[in-house]
């Protein structure tokens, strides 16, 4: 008999159709119980519904599966062949679909990569490592510098978590949570000539400055803040991060302008002062890809980072800076 194109398409579609995977659960119950009635009770189905399901199983497998033997039913060779395999498949599927087991931090063996903005490791790293070492000794952290705001590494899974100020380059699907608000302050070495003067916009602008900027042509946001006073900073050099800026300020007469909380430990022993003019605050956040949102270990890591950042109170940081530098409270 010659098949028409329609007949061929119908047969092809039938062969390529996706089987009803719910039948696996029915098959497992039937093979385990050896009785349609007991399988129906196990699955909370009516006897008629179970009979219809068994008919579909027979059609799908091309085998009667259970046949009459006196008053009962006995499995066919094909049914015996399938019994263990089907049982394991159902168990595996149930394991995949059930909620994840409760996280055992004492047994957790995992490595996380964090991409952090400059100064985060120096300021928050010690407390974060101590917290994680106490709760999950088998966890290891790798910190890598955040040189841009592109979200590709999060999307690829190369990085597990990021910190920094959210920018336009951050992908819209990335999840975020604010860690803390921060403000910019001025920092200079102890004994700097300007540290003995009342800080005014003019005094601030009269010093020589180190600018933190990723782009060499940038003048930084504080350039706009000084415009109403008709002032402009004398920027002697530009560096790519707060650590480098503070290192230069510590060893010279340059003035660095850095986020207060983000650089608390880096500023130890230096003279810190509040800026004598209004400046914009920033919000430092953590960022992660949504595929890690429900992962128990990742959720625990995010909570550790958030609590460590929240626990380092800004007043305590300012007090430390004041005691180290001998200046008034910021």
The verdict on 199 and 267 lying in the same domain is yes
Q: Which residues contact 46 (CB under 8 A, 6 or more apart)?
A: 40
Q: From CA 25, how far away is CA 222, in angstroms rounded?
A: 66
Q: From CA 311, how far away is CA 252, in angstroms rounded?
A: 33
The verdict on 321 and 205 lying in the same domain is yes
Does the pLDDT value for residue 316 go beyond 50? no
Q: Note the pLDDT of residue 4.
A: 57
Please name which of 252, 266, 242 lies closest in space to residue 189, comparing C-alpha atoms: 252
SS3 per-residue string spanning 70-128: CCEEEECHHHHHHHHHHHHHHHHHHHHHCCCCCCCHHHCCEEEEEEECCCHHHHHHHHH
Please name which of 88, 97, 90, 95 lies closest in space to residue 26, comparing C-alpha atoms: 90
Q: From CA 195, how far away is CA 188, in angstroms rounded?
A: 8
The end-to-end CA distance of the chain, in Å, is 94
Q: What is the pLDDT of residues 114-162, one digit of tens each?
A: 999 888 999 999 999 999 999 999 999 999 998 888 888 998 899 999 9
Share of the chain above pLDDT 70, in %: 86
Q: Note the pLDDT of residue 66.
A: 85
Q: Note the pLDDT of residue 330.
A: 30
Mean pLDDT of all residues in 203-214:
93
Q: What backbone torsions phi and psi does residue 194 show, to the nearest 5 degrees?
A: -75, -15
Residue 330, in any domain of the structure: no
Q: What is the pLDDT of residues 18-42, one digit of tens each?
A: 677 788 888 888 888 888 888 888 8
Instruction: Report the Cα 224 to chain-centroid distance in Å.
Output: 34
Q: What is the pLDDT of residues 289-304, one digit of tens each?
A: 998 998 999 999 999 9
Total of domains in the chain = 3
Please name which of 248, 281, 247, 283 lies closest in space to residue 266, comparing C-alpha atoms: 247
The verdict on 321 and 308 lying in the same domain is no
Q: Look up the domain containing 167 and give its range.
A: 107-178+294-314
Which stretches within the chain are classed as H helix? 5-16, 22-33, 36-43, 47-61, 77-97, 120-135, 152-156, 201-206, 222-226, 242-250, 296-311, 314-325
The verdict on 303 and 159 lying in the same domain is yes
The verdict on 274 and 228 lying in the same domain is yes
Please name which of 304, 315, 306 lies closest in space to residue 130, comparing C-alpha atoms: 304
3-state secondary structure of 134: helix
Mean pLDDT of all residues in 245-265:
95
The verdict on 250 and 308 lying in the same domain is no
Q: What CATH number does the domain containing 252 carry? A: 3.40.190.10
The verdict on 270 and 201 lying in the same domain is yes
- Confidence at 319, pLDDT banded by 50, 70, 90: very low
């Amino acid at each position: 008999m010659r098949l028409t194109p329609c007949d061929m398409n119908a047969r092809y579609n039938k062969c390529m159709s996706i089987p009803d995977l719910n039948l696996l659960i029915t098959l497992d119950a039937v093979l385990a119980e050896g009785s349609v009635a007991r399988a129906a009770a196990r699955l909370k189905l009516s006897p008629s519904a179970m009979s219809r399901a068994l008919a579909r199983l027979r059609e799908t497998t091309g085998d009667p599966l259970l046949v009459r033997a006196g008053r009962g039913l006995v499995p066919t060779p094909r049914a015996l062949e399938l019994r263990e395999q089907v049982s394991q498949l159902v168990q595996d599927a149930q394991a995949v679909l059930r909620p994840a087991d409760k996280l055992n931090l004492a047994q957790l063996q995992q490595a996380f990569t964090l991409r952090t903005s400059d100064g985060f490791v120096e300021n928050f790293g010690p407390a974060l490592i101590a917290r994680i070492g106490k709760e999950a000794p088998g966890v290891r952290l790798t910190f890598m510098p955040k040189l841009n705001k592109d979200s590709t590494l999060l999307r690829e899974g190369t990085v597990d978590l990021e910190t920094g100020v959210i920018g336009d380059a951050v992908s819209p699907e990335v999840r975020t949570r604010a860690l803390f608000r921060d403000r910019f302050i001025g920092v200079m070495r102890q004994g700097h000539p300007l540290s003995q003067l009342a800080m005014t916009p003019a005094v601030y602008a009269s010093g020589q400055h180190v600018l933190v900027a990723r782009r060499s042509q940038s003048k930084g946001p504080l350039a706009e803040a000084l415009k109403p006073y008709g002032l402009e900073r004398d920027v002697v050099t530009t560096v790519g991060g707060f650590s480098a800026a503070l290192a230069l300020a510590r060893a010279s007469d340059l003035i660095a302008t850095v986020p207060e909380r983000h650089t608390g430990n880096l500023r130890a022993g230096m003279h810190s002062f509040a800026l004598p003019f209004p400046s914009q605050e920033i919000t430092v956040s953590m960022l992660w890809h949504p595929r890690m949102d429900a992962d128990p270990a990742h959720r625990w890591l995010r909570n550790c980072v958030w609590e460590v950042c929240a626990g380092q109170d800004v007043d305590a940081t300012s007090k430390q800076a004041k005691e180290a530098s001998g200046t008034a409270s910021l």
